[in-house]
């Protein structure tokens, strides 16, 4: 295309300085036919194939122009929801002195996900995985009076987390862009309002993005309370198991889902008896052999706390342990399952034969075991089990907690209704921090009565790349992406079929200008390619409205509209096409 024509196409800019229109002849959107070898998720494959991202190293991606347009749209939606609620944007450094992490006590907690580095003077730094420390450092220096609160500051910025398994493209990257916001309040009441504001902002943001999402109660660690919510895009491939009550509005991450009205496993007390149980390696085999329900088989698992102290954890055979609940039960101390050699050296027997009977390590057990009368436990010997075991009589349980993972059909902790499950991708997280960082770093304000109080904080994150990937994961078909209008890099794919036909091209460029004058964003495919190729690429790129101009349609002064999501085809008079499309677009955005 001649440069002059090209410049003309780019002449009109939106209020943010982005061109309303681009020509595929020149636009840098390198599509490819093959799926990348390392991609498991559809969204990852499509993001590579549609020229949105390119991998530089494991978990580190470049965002190409097509992707960046979508990201900018998401960012604008986020900014408007936050700005109208009084949050103020700033930008913090990505590189942070390690000293701040020592001060907050997170230097050790964060582990190998924290990328540490040294400068030329041998001073320690990290690349920020999150910014609680840095923002609290600013606040402790600048804010001293209750009059300066409440305050909410946010940024949209690059983070680095050395994820153990970066995967799914930008969905779980090592370098990624996050919107992170931090609120500062004088008292609980005000902090609760700030939290609610952000909760509402997030609901608005993900609704405006056109995403099918759910808000669930999330684990808030040792801080407690239901002061953490995650915003989950619902998708089969999601890494999070979500629990929903069929009866009330209770929704939670499985990590968090409580089991309040659990059933005790009861029965008549028997006597402890050692029986021969050959070749019973798994709960189901043992239950079958002994002709007892799996629920009466007590699994004994050895866990090691961060300070290396061991705990024997008991849970009924038909249940899985929820490690998050276990950690919270032990005041938030990180816990891990013992390695086989550790189990053997601590318990004196191989992992599979561990028994609570006579155990020298503290025992904690799931609530359901409390009234068990005829449990089955290990004996410390291969091929033998105790039957008739009763806690309290045959072994001592130090404390009982709710430790089991909720499963399908469990009772709802709010109303007793039944729980069912869905999968989700976490795109946003709102979290009440309390005074953890303000106390550690000394961020306080003077109250009206002259007393000093640590500032109450909240933090709020949205993954920019992950939200876009999740949108694609949720909305695509075998041919490509199906963008929601709000996040789509452009709105209209304008396709002239016979580019050698000057009069057809003149009419198409005229339509292009009319669309742009109507504030529609247009990607025109003025390449000299066969129709099949153009349509295939249009499906892959997935813009909501495909408008085709052909010699045939022009014979009737028409163009053809095909809506990507529904496949619906409408012939539009070319003279009123822009008006029609504008109305369609505006309706989709509201």
Binding stretches for ligand ATP (CB under 6 A): 130, 161, 163, 172-173, 176, 178, 426-429, 461-463, 465-466
Q: Provide, rounded to whole angstroms, the least separation between the CB of residue 413 and ligand ATP.
A: 22
Contact by Cβ (8 Å): 466, 425: yes
CB atoms within 10 A of CB 530: 10
> Would you say 253 or 277 has its CB closer to ligand ATP?
253
Q: Provide, rounded to whole angstroms, the least separation between the CB of residue 35 and ligand ATP.
A: 21
From 549, 524, 520, select the one nearest 18 (Cα to Cα).
520
Cα 3 to the chain's mean position, in Å? 44
Q: Provide, rounded to whole angstroms, the least separation between the CB of residue 53 and ligand ATP.
A: 12
> Would you say 173 or 378 has its CB closer to ligand ATP?
173
> Would you say 433 or 577 has its CB closer to ligand ATP?
433
Q: Provide, rounded to whole angstroms, the least separation between the CB of residue 517 and ligand ATP.
A: 37
> Would you say 173 or 480 has its CB closer to ligand ATP?
173
Tell me the backbone φ, ψ of residue 333, rounded to 5 degrees: -70, 125
Residue sitting closest to ligand ATP (CB): 463
How far is it, in rounded angstroms, from Cα 364 to Cα 391? 11
> Would you say 163 or 344 has its CB closer to ligand ATP?
163
CB atoms within 10 A of CB 3: 8
How far is it, in rounded angstroms, from Cα 487 to Cα 544? 10
How far is it, in rounded angstroms, from Cα 69 to Cα 369? 55
> Would you say 181 or 302 has its CB closer to ligand ATP?
181
Provide the token pair at 586.
């505006």
Around 466, how many Cα atoms within 13 Å sit in the side-chain half-sphere? 29
Q: Provide, rounded to whole angstroms, the least separation between the CB of residue 523 and ligand ATP.
A: 27
Q: Provide, rounded to whole angstroms, the least separation between the CB of residue 98 and ligand ATP.
A: 19
Instruction: Write the DSSP symbol of residue 172.
Output: B
- 461 membership: H or E segment, kind and range: strand 456-463
β-pair partners for 432 = 458
Q: Provide, rounded to whole angstroms, the least separation between the CB of residue 407 and ligand ATP.
A: 21
> Would you say 434 or 463 has its CB closer to ligand ATP?
463
How far is it, in rounded angstroms, from Cα 320 to Cα 313? 11
How far is it, in rounded angstroms, from Cα 169 to Cα 70? 16
Q: Provide, rounded to whole angstroms, the least separation between the CB of residue 463 and ligand ATP.
A: 2
> Would you say 160 or 512 has its CB closer to ligand ATP?
160
> Would you say 218 or 485 has its CB closer to ligand ATP?
218
Measure the CA angle with vertex 416, ends 414 and 421; round to 5°. 85
From 301, 215, 296, 291, select the one nearest 253 (Cα to Cα).
215
How far is it, in rounded angstroms, from Cα 533 to Cα 371? 69
Q: Provide, rounded to whole angstroms, the least separation between the CB of residue 242 and ligand ATP.
A: 13
């Amino acid at each position: 295309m001649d440069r002059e024509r090209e410049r003309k196409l780019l002449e009109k800019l939106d209020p943010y300085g982005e061109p309303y229109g681009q020509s595929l002849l020149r636009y840098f959107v390198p599509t490819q036919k093959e799926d990348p070898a390392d991609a498991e998720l559809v969204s990852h494959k499509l993001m590579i194939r549609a020229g949105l991202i390119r991998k530089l190293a494991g978990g580190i991606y470049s965002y190409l122009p097509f992707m960046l347009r979508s990201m900018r749209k998401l960012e604008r939606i986020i900014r408007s929801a936050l700005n109208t609620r009084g949050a103020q944007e700033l930008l913090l450094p990505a590189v942070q002195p390690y000293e701040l992490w020592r001060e907050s006590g997170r230097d050790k907690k964060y582990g190998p996900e924290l990328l540490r580095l040294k400068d030329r003077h041998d001073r320690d730094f990290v690349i920020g995985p999150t910014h609680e420390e840095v923002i609290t450092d600013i606040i402790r220096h600048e804010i001293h009076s209750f009059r300066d609160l409440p305050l909410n500051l946010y940024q949209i910025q690059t983070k680095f987390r050395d994820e153990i398994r970066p995967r799914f493209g930008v969905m779980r990257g090592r370098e990624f862009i996050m919107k992170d916001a931090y609120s500062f309040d004088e008292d609980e009441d005000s902090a609760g309002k700030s939290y609610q504001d952000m909760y509402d902002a997030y609901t608005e943001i993900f609704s405006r993005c056109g995403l099918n999402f759910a808000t669930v109660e999330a684990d808030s660690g040792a801080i407690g309370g239901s002061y953490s919510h995650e915003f989950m895009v619902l998708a089969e491939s999601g890494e999070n198991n979500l629990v929903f009550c069929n009866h009330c509005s209770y929704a939670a991450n499985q990590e968090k889902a409580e089991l309040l009205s659990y059933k005790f496993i009861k029965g008549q007390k028997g006597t402890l008896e050692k029986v021969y149980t050959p070749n019973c390696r798994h709960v189901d085999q043992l239950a079958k052999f002994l002709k007892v329900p799996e629920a009466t088989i007590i699994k004994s698992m050895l866990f090691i706390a961060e300070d290396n102290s061991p705990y024997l954890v008991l849970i009924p055979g038909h249940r899985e342990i929820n490690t998050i609940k276990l950690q919270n039960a032990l005041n938030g101390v990180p816990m891990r399952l013992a390695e086989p050699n550790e189990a053997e050296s601590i318990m004196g027997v191989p992992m599979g034969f561990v028994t609570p009977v006579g155990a020298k390590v503290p025992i904690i057990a799931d609530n359901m075991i409390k009234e068990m009368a005829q449990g089955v436990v290990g004996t410390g010997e291969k091929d033998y089990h105790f039957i008739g075991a009763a806690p309290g009589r045959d072994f001592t349980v130090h404390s009982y907690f709710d430790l089991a993972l909720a499963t399908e059909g469990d009772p709802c902790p709010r109303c007793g209704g039944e729980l069912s499950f869905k999968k989700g991708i976490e795109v946003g997280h709102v979290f009440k921090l309390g005074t953890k960082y303000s106390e550690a770093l000394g961020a306080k304000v003077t109250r009206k009565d002259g007393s000093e109080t640590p500032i109450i904080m909240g933090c709020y994150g949205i993954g920019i790349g992950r939200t876009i990937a999740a949108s694609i994961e949720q909305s695509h078909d075998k041919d490509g992406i199906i963008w929601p209008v709000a996040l789509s890099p452009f709105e209209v794919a304008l396709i002239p079929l016979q580019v050698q036909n000057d009069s057809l091209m003149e009419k198409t460029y005229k339509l292009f200008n009319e669309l742009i004058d109507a504030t529609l964003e247009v990607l025109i495919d003025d390449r000299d390619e066969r129709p099949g190729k153009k349509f295939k690429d249009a499906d892959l790129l997935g813009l909501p409205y495909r408008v085709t101009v052909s010699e045939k349609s022009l014979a009737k002064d028409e163009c053809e509209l095909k809506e990507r999501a529904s496949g619906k085809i409408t012939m539009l008079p070319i003279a009123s096409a822009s008006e029609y499309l504008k109305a369609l677009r505006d309706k989709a955005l509201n």
